[in-house]
Structure 1
Amino acid sequence: MSSPLLRTSRSLCSSCLRWRHHRLYVSHAALATSTFPKSSLQQTDTLSPSHAPEKAKSQKGFRAPSETKADQCTSLQSRNPLEPTRVDLYLASIHAAGLEPTLDDIERCRPNRHSSPESSKYAEEYNNLLDTLCRSFSKDQLRKFTELYQLDPIWTRSSRRKVEYAESIIEKQWNWPSLKELERRKRDRTEVVVKTFSVNPSQLFLILGKDGADLLQLSMQYNVHISLASNPLALRVEGLRGAMKQLTEHLSDMKKGIIDEIVELPSKQPIRQDLVQRISRLAGAYVENLGHKGKIRICAKDPEKMDIAKRLATRASTESQGSSSPLLCYLPTKPKLDHSVPPSFVPHTYSIYPFFSPRPLPWTTIKGGSFRVRRVADWLGAAATEDISKTGGLAGGQGKVVTKSEEPKDLEALLQSAPKTSGSDRLVTASFGHMVLASPSLTGHAMLNPPLKGNWILSKILKWLYTSNTPLMFVPSLPPTLLDTPPSNQKVLHRVLYRTLAESQSEKSLQQQLIKLELEFSMSDVASSRAGELEHSDSDRELAGDSVDIDYDTSSPLESLHDSTTFEQPSSNAKQTIPEVSVNVSEPTCLEGVESTLDVMMPDRPMDIQFAILDYTDLCAGAQPPVLVEYAKELRQFLTSQNGEAIQPQPPATFNFHGRTYFLQTSLSVRQAIEATQLPMGACEDLEQSVYARVITESLLDLESNQKSTSCQVMLDDKVGGQAWTQFLASCDHVTTVSFPAQNIKPDLSAS
């Protein structure tokens, strides 16, 4: 006799199923989890007349409850686990009868509402609903529901599990928040993890940014703690799991976006290591030497920084291989001693003093100490500065000019007797500044200890300079006599200067081929009249030599032009009206020539002089280099355009012209002022016999390195006649000494 458990597995006839299909289908969820009592089985059997014989047989074989329980345990222990359960058989019978569930059936399981996803009840409600769907429907039925709901094919593919189909219906169709996503977000908000990111030197440099500013920004943006591990090189990051994922994506995208390029320098020589670091800081790109044949590797975040690094590297390479100017030293004549000065203090002694410039030194300067040779002041009366009223100065012709080997030279003969190129004009200028001795530092820090300690006679110092080959550099600056002088006839220029490079070390010459392009900017009458109110204060402050950091960042490359268009802020009661400024750009002037320079060290004066002789030829529009013509055209369009998103063009880094290769040396924004200063003739102090000399002062902004500087020049004017040379040297005496303050200023109307 079969047990009661086996009786429930017999098949029902089709007529009974059709008559009771709705009630049986609705109750199948309860049948899946409950056992069938004997009374229920007997009641079910009475509903079907066709099963009467089997019912009688079952009643005939009825046993005691204890025996039935024992038979059930024996049946459960002996049942094959691979055989289908009663629920499976029941659902299979429904399927055999052609009774498939519809969307209305599964929608009956959908709750009307759910708790807040942030509450603890939501997880319980979600799991209960998921359990109900999995127990009520088979895998194929749930998959069929996803297709009927027209979910994305990614959620209806046949390879998914049953619970995944149920989750897709709950989340994608019924729009319940994903429980897994909520748990993940909770872990991201609360769980702290530590992760290490491996980096190479170039990646680390670009991640750090200037002085670590970019790394600090990352730490603040993602609220993580970042430290550096040196061996191996890596970033150790500690923070919340969610922030760590975002930071990982950011670093991965940044590494993929780094561009890498190998550049061959024109000098075929590696760049100094201190210059490599400065170029990297100025350009915001990682630069390193590759070998000793003038190849460098540049890594940058974007093409703009890559281009800046290339230009700075080329400029540093050409300047280091450029021609060096010969050095002369001016020795003034010994003045007649007063009776109060003992003769034991003669001759004068000199020493190498630390040099501190009001402006940053050029970025190509050797990193270390900067020094200048100065005369030591005597205790009993003799000052440390030459008195040109007693010595006569350069214009008096009583002193002498010697080389480092103490060979006397005639300054006028050196400047006037230089061979002149046929068909060209000659321009002789004197620039004022300081001859600086650059002493490299082993530690890379600035130092105050001079390379030659103690007080020495000048011949001893000249001999040391001759034998030690200490590098000297002329640094232009504004003389103290013009600091309080209001500028006049000010104009704004854009100047681009190109020079050639000797093909070999043996071919270096004192002369260099150059091409100079200049464009002058002017404003409309409305803007210029308004800006004229601030011209004196702005220009005076600009030319006064206020200290500016070498990494000065400007809002616009042509900052000088924008400075001259600054307007006063109106009062709070007045209506603020800013006039429109229209910029007029002149036709470019271009000249080609040969330049030679001569440095004159003056340890008895506050400043030194650099003389320059330029034999040049003006190039008309049709004879100018085509690349410069195109650059001037694009720059004019940029300055006159009203489009605020226009990109400023960059001058070409190199080009060929007339069989020569020219390299960009400087790209400057210039504010130029021409001063007419009253100067005495030679050693004469009578102002009635004095003349007016033209002094050109310039405030310069290097558009490549964003470094500011000032310069002061005096030009030799051949129109004066025979007194031109004397007046030229007298102007040099006046500017390089502090004995004579600047006299009354007379505007130079002819230069406007």
Structure 2
Amino acid sequence: MANSVLNYSRSLPVSESQPVISEEQATVKIKTEPGFKSKQENLSSTFTIAAAGLGLISDGYQNNLMTMANVVFKNIYGTEYSSTVSTRVSNALLVGAVLGQVFVGLICDRIGRKVALFATTALIVFGATLATAAHASTPAGLFWFLTVARGITGVGVGGEYPAGSTSASEAANERSPKNRGPIFVMVTNFVLSFGGPLAVSVFLIVLCAAGKNHLQTVWRVSFGIGIILPLGVFIVRMRMMSTILYKKGAIKHNVPYGLVVKRYWKSLIGTCCAWFLYDFVTFPNGVFSATIISSVIKDSDIKKTAEWQLLLGAIALPGIFVGAWLCNVIGRKNTLMLGFSGYLVFGLIIGCAYDKITSIVPLFVVFYGLMQSSGNMGPGDMMGLVSVESYPTAIRGTCYGISAALGKVGAAVDMTGVDLADEDAKFMEYLAVNGWQGRVGEDDDAELTVAVETEHQKAKKELKNSDATKLKGPSRNLLEESKIQSYLDRIAETGNTVTLADITRLRPNIHSDPETPEYEEEYNALIDRLCRSFSKKQLYSFVKMLEIEGSRRGSAKRHSAVQIVEDGWNWPSLAKVKARKRDWSEVLSQSFPLDPRQSFLILGKGAPLSLNAEGLRGALKQLEEHITFVKEDIVEEYYGISFEKPFPAELLHRISRLSGAFTETFGEGQIRISYRKSDPRAAFIAKRLLTHVLCDLETVTGSSILVHIPPEAPKSTPVPLAMFPSSYALYPFLSTRSLPWNVNASGAFRARKVAEWIGINPMEDVQKSGGLELGRGQVLDMEGNTADLRQKLFSHLPEPSGSNSRVVSASFGHVLLTPPPSSHASFIPPLQGSWPLSNLSRWIRERHIGRLFTPFLPAPVLQLTPQKQQLLHRLLYEAHPSGNTQQSTHIIEFEMVLPLATIDQNGITELARSNFDSRHEESSIYTTGTTHTRLDHICRIGNQFTVDLMLPDRPMDIRFSVFDSYILPQKLWPTELQKYFEDLSFFFYDGESNASPPNAPVTMFLNNVEYRLRSSVSVRQTQADTHAPQSKISIPAISESILDLEVDDKSTVCKINCHAPSTDEDWRAFLKGCDFMSAMRIPTSGKKFIDADADVAL
């Protein structure tokens, strides 16, 4: 047999001959003594391992960066960031990685590891910089920019796999061949996987710093931090040297790729296919894991999604350490198979029980993390390790890059403890045998040369002996006892005694699907077989042995057999299977009697008292179970009222529809509230609306209503006005928005003057009549008696003391008359025709017509520019003590500045902590708490009296109110109010992002007086100054956009205030502002001050 000798020797000059190869040597000898290594070479292996780890952690960061970026882009751009765009941007990195893995794999073998590492680092920095600065005029352009930038980054990331991994494996082999596997895993797969939690942690830190309103900043800063990581690697990689294995085993010219494919084609096919299948599943699970988690959690909040994603990444890390430990204990192959098995098991658990697991978010994340941890333990750790151990140094980068590009996995073989130089020697021997000749090594001063001389082919291998005779088993002994005979003998010995083994022999291993006809046949055949095989007594004994409950002596034989099959062997009950089939095949009709409470809570408003349903028997059973469940879930509460008059029934129906709780009168002075136990807020809203109605009824009873008649001012008409006395009529009130919920369904009407002459403006001209300021007209009450507005306001309140403050407010809107309730709305007024104002007043008084004041923005305010804005939360509590002879209302008013930013007239953003309104002029009235009470707030208590002034000759009416109050110190607050303020402060500053705000107390007691919640609203308050015609005095107007927090009812209010009008001049100036606001008609166009209701009183 011919001998081939491969010697490593110093190359000679070109003129000198190649070294002589001895033909007498019988084996191939490879000289691989490394010789003496310098201190720099020893340190280089350490720096090489460190450089690989630091480089790959930036790769892991880039790989996982899109996990949260997908959620952010979806939140910012909505439908613009479709699934197609998301997949394109996310996959750009993978496409670039494939290119980088292939081409950089060639570079690191043909040019050098160090050059490849520098090139990949530069590409990552360049691509990450482009992604951070991505900009375009349209979202589509931005995403194409990101796609290109991420693709460039991907080329660098992909190149790090062959360049960094091969360098790390060769350096680890030099440092510690026995621990090469664990070291390689820790500097490759661990840092790659750690990049996931690192990327999410950076995202959370940036999100908390920038806030959810600056998501553009969040994703750009997160992308920008990805530039810093690879920049730091440059310093370490400058200290690198090529590994000894690469210096001695590199082939930079005339690479025999044909021989490589011939020798390693099976390994390449196996590696590519295996890792392709793994990456096909694990990469989408990693990149889109945040998207999956955000679809599972109820409120897809970005911060919560990131927190769950961080937990998921943390759970996946321990598997890496387990795999690193097991790779030397049980081997690479077994560790790989164990990891694949765990990944499969946890994946099946999640898939089979997806609907149940996803309802418990922590459980889903734990199983999801365990699945990824199993993947990291097996294929994640082993595939890269086996790849670098499967190929020689000369082509390690190329083959590893191809494997990573098509699957990033090496051959699934056990390479534990094998020195990488051994594979190099085998590869060189293979080249020598196949006649290849070329240069091997990297040293510039003296290249290592491989000279191959082959004189004969190797002899063919001997054939194995394949004609060995097979041994035959011994022939059967015909005299041996048969199994049947043995069984019969045993029965004869034991008599009638039976054991579980006797009946277990008859138990089938499987049965058909219970829904198929075959199951019934198998079931009946098994029952018949049991009944034929055993007696009644024996079957009963089996039932006792199996410890089946409900067994009794004397039962029928078939009954015992059924118990054994169903309860002992867990076969589905045939009777239940038949009943279920019957339930879903027969159509029946069924009636369900309901009382009003049950009908409302099950079927909603206007539901009947009986429910007739027709359908499949199974569906009717489900409906019956649901109705029974709802009936059992209904609870009742009783709400006491002290109002003497009966509570309006139509308002009870309306409260039921708004709150979702059924309300009805129950005896005298009580309202029964029925609601579902699972929805306690419905009861709170019902109580809140009940108190609101009670406060309205008591306010109407205690307040006064007056009407103003202007004097007859001279008009430029040829006909004397004395011939046409003024008359008034009721006009329907129309609004673009629905009327307040407590208005009767039959409609609302406003008294207006009737124009009886063509060309005559029916509106009052306050410049000529003098208006309320000069008092030339008449102010009458409903009895027709003359009244003084100022005296009417102040006569019901005592003079304020030194600590009390008095504020008179004028709110503008419409005094609406509400006729008796009716089931249908109508534009026809209850009093038809035109009448003198005295007749109209008498009709209101005698018929006890209800009234309601609806606020509306006057025309002058619609044209103003706001000067001060702030957001408030306001609670208003009212009390009407029985011994109150002054007809005033006891008031507790609580206001708090919400912790939101506002923009002042100079465009400066600051915390909304300015004054509440014009009556709060000094900052000393504020109380700023500490720790959990950091909200500016104020609580006033006092008495209020209200007078509604009808102005039928003007576009608007006025509601006057006087409020005598003082600031109530926090230590004297009612206990309920203190608790609510603490809970609300905690909600704003320390509560969870998805927590619900606390409910304001419906009632509270102070000094043995019960206060009811009149309103709980959020207020957007704006102040502006206006000037009346021919007047230099500014009129400060306060406009408020009010949102009722329970019924989502929005309204707008404009008012002007007068602080303690002690002189006639102050009072006249106040009335002058009222004239100006109420007399101007609404312009057809103009700048709007605040979004107002477009209400029209015809």
1:445 aligns with 2:824: yes
Compared with structure 1, are the counterparts of its residues 343 and 517 closer, same or farther at alpha carbon in structure 2 (3 Å cutoff)?
Answer: closer
Q: Which residue of 1 aligns with 2:876?
A: 497
Q: Any residues of structure 2 matched to 1:15-34 within 5 Å, and which?
A: none
Which piece of structure 1 moves more, 704-713 or 518-527? 518-527
Q: Which amino acid aligns with 1:465?
A: I
Q: Which residue of 2 aligns with 1:9?
A: none
Q: Any residues of structure 2 matched to 1:562-641 within 5 Å, and which?
A: 586-641=935-990
SS in 2 for 1:237: strand
Q: Which residue of 2 aligns with 1:715?
A: 1057
User: Relative CO higher for 1 or 2, CA cutoff 8 Å, sep ≥ 6?
Assistant: 1
Q: Any residues of structure 2 matched to 1:190-339 within 5 Å, and which?
A: 190-210=585-605, 233-267=609-643, 269-291=645-667, 293-302=668-677, 303-322=680-699, 323-339=701-717
Q: Which amino acid aligns with 1:602?
A: L
Q: Which residue of 1 aligns with 2:834?
A: 455
Cα deviation, residue 663, structure 1: 2.1
Cα deviation, residue 354, structure 1: 1.4
Q: Distance in 2 between matches of 1:435 and 1:193?
A: 57
Is there any run of 5+ residues in structure 1 with no aligned partner, and where?
Answer: 1-18, 28-92, 213-227, 536-581, 748-752
Q: Which amino acid aligns with 1:594?
A: N
Structure 1 residues 8-55: Cα deviation after superposition (integer angstroms, max 9, x where no partner): xxxxxxxxxxx999659769xxxxxxxxxxxxxxxxxxxxxxxxxxxx
Q: Distance in 2 between matches of 1:528 and 1:135?
A: 98
SS in 2 for 1:333: coil
**Does the 8 A contact of 1:487 with 1:674 survive in 2?**
yes
Cα deviation, residue 107, structure 1: 4.2
SS in 1 for 2:577: helix
TM-score, normalised by the number of residues in structure 2: 0.49
Structure 1 residues 639-658: Cα deviation after superposition (integer angstroms, max 9, x where no partner): 22341454432222223323
1:432 aligns with 2:812: yes
Which piece of structure 1 moves more, 105-114 or 637-646? 105-114
Compared with structure 1, are the counterparts of its residues 642 and 297 closer, same or farther at alpha carbon in structure 2 (3 Å cutoff)?
Answer: closer
Structure 1 residues 265-287: Cα deviation after superposition (integer angstroms, max 9, x where no partner): 12254311112212222222222
Cα deviation, residue 338, structure 1: 1.3
1:404 aligns with 2:779: no
Compared with structure 1, are the counterparts of its residues 239 and 411 closer, same or farther at alpha carbon in structure 2 (3 Å cutoff)?
Answer: same
1:125 aligns with 2:522: yes
Q: Distance in 2 between matches of 1:327 and 1:745?
A: 31
SS in 1 for 2:985: helix
Q: Which residue of 1 aligns with 2:741?
A: 363
Q: Which residue of 1 aligns with 2:1001?
A: 652
**Does the 8 A contact of 1:652 with 1:664 survive in 2?**
yes
Q: Distance in 2 between matches of 1:172 and 1:529?
A: 81
**Does the 8 A contact of 2:859 with 2:1081 survive in 1?**
no
1:482 aligns with 2:868: no
TM-score, normalised by the number of residues in structure 1: 0.70
Structure 1 residues 432-460: Cα deviation after superposition (integer angstroms, max 9, x where no partner): 1111111114x432222222211122233
Structure 1 residues 63-102: Cα deviation after superposition (integer angstroms, max 9, x where no partner): xxxxxxxxxxxxxxxxxxxxxxxxxxxxxx9789625344
**Does the 8 A contact of 1:359 with 1:708 survive in 2?**
no
1:380 aligns with 2:755: no
Q: Distance in 2 between matches of 1:112 and 1:414?
A: 95
Compared with structure 1, are the counterparts of its residues 584 and 336 closer, same or farther at alpha carbon in structure 2 (3 Å cutoff)?
Answer: farther
**Does the 8 A contact of 1:266 with 1:314 survive in 2?**
no
Q: Which amino acid aligns with 2:603?
A: L
SS in 2 for 1:515: strand
Structure 1 residues 319-363: Cα deviation after superposition (integer angstroms, max 9, x where no partner): 323443222211222221214456476322211111224444443
Structure 1 residues 378-432: Cα deviation after superposition (integer angstroms, max 9, x where no partner): 3421112222233232234333322233333333454467641323111011011
1:518 aligns with 2:895: yes
SS in 2 for 1:368: coil
Q: Which residue of 1 aligns with 2:1044?
A: 702
SS in 2 for 1:305: helix
1:690 aligns with 2:1032: yes
Cα deviation, residue 192, structure 1: 1.5
- 997, 1013, 1017: which one aligns with 1:664: 1013
Q: Distance in 1 between matches of 2:798 and 2:1062?
A: 22
Q: Percent identity?
A: 38
Q: Which amino acid aligns with 1:138?
A: S
Which piece of structure 1 moves more, 294-303 or 394-403? 394-403
Cα deviation, residue 667, structure 1: 1.7
Q: Which amino acid aligns with 2:1040?
A: E
Structure 1 residues 262-320: Cα deviation after superposition (integer angstroms, max 9, x where no partner): 332122543111122122222222222233x3122222112332333233334433432
Q: Which residue of 1 aligns with 2:1069?
A: 727
SS in 2 for 1:490: strand
Compared with structure 1, are the counterparts of its residues 23 and 739 closer, same or farther at alpha carbon in structure 2 (3 Å cutoff)?
Answer: closer
- 130, 139, 145: which one aligns with 2:542: 145
Q: Distance in 2 between matches of 1:432 and 1:397?
A: 19
Q: By percentage of residues, which structure has more helix?
A: 2
Compared with structure 1, are the counterparts of its residues 709 and 740 closer, same or farther at alpha carbon in structure 2 (3 Å cutoff)?
Answer: closer
Q: Distance in 1 between matches of 2:605 and 2:907?
A: 38
Compared with structure 1, are the counterparts of its residues 110 and 531 closer, same or farther at alpha carbon in structure 2 (3 Å cutoff)?
Answer: farther
Cα deviation, residue 173, structure 1: 5.2
Is there any run of 5+ residues in structure 2 with no aligned partner, and where?
Answer: 1-480, 913-930, 1091-1098
**Does the 8 A contact of 1:270 with 1:295 survive in 2?**
no
Cα deviation, residue 520, structure 1: 0.9
SS in 2 for 1:716: strand
Q: Distance in 2 between matches of 1:530 and 1:249?
A: 60
**Does the 8 A contact of 1:494 with 1:519 survive in 2?**
yes
Q: Distance in 1 between matches of 2:1036 and 2:939?
A: 23
Cα deviation, residue 711, structure 1: 1.2
Compared with structure 1, are the counterparts of its residues 390 and 269 closer, same or farther at alpha carbon in structure 2 (3 Å cutoff)?
Answer: closer
Compared with structure 1, are the counterparts of its residues 360 and 24 closer, same or farther at alpha carbon in structure 2 (3 Å cutoff)?
Answer: same
Structure 1 residues 695-738: Cα deviation after superposition (integer angstroms, max 9, x where no partner): 11111122344322221111115699875333322221222123
**Does the 8 A contact of 1:583 with 1:639 survive in 2?**
no
Q: Distance in 1 between matches of 2:827 and 2:671?
A: 33
SS in 1 for 2:942: strand
Q: Distance in 2 between matches of 1:193 and 1:531?
A: 70
1:187 aligns with 2:582: yes
Q: Could you say what the CA RMSD is over the residues aligned between the two structures, in angstroms? A: 3.8
Q: Which amino acid aligns with 2:1049?
A: Q
**Does the 8 A contact of 2:732 with 2:749 survive in 1?**
yes
Q: Distance in 2 between matches of 1:488 and 1:720?
A: 28
**Does the 8 A contact of 1:497 with 1:667 survive in 2?**
yes
Q: Distance in 1 between matches of 2:1081 and 2:644?
A: 48
Q: Which amino acid aligns with 2:959?
A: Q
Which piece of structure 1 moves more, 386-395 or 734-743? 734-743
Q: Distance in 1 between matches of 2:904 and 2:1035?
A: 31
Cα deviation, residue 511, structure 1: 1.4
Q: Which residue of 1 aligns with 2:48?
A: none
Q: Which amino acid aligns with 1:522?
A: P
Q: By percentage of residues, which structure has more strand?
A: 1
**Does the 8 A contact of 2:890 with 2:944 survive in 1?**
yes
Cα deviation, residue 366, structure 1: 4.0
**Does the 8 A contact of 2:548 with 2:568 survive in 1?**
no
- 151, 154, 161: which one aligns with 2:549: 154
Q: Distance in 1 between matches of 2:778 and 2:934?
A: 47
Number of residue pairs matched?
585
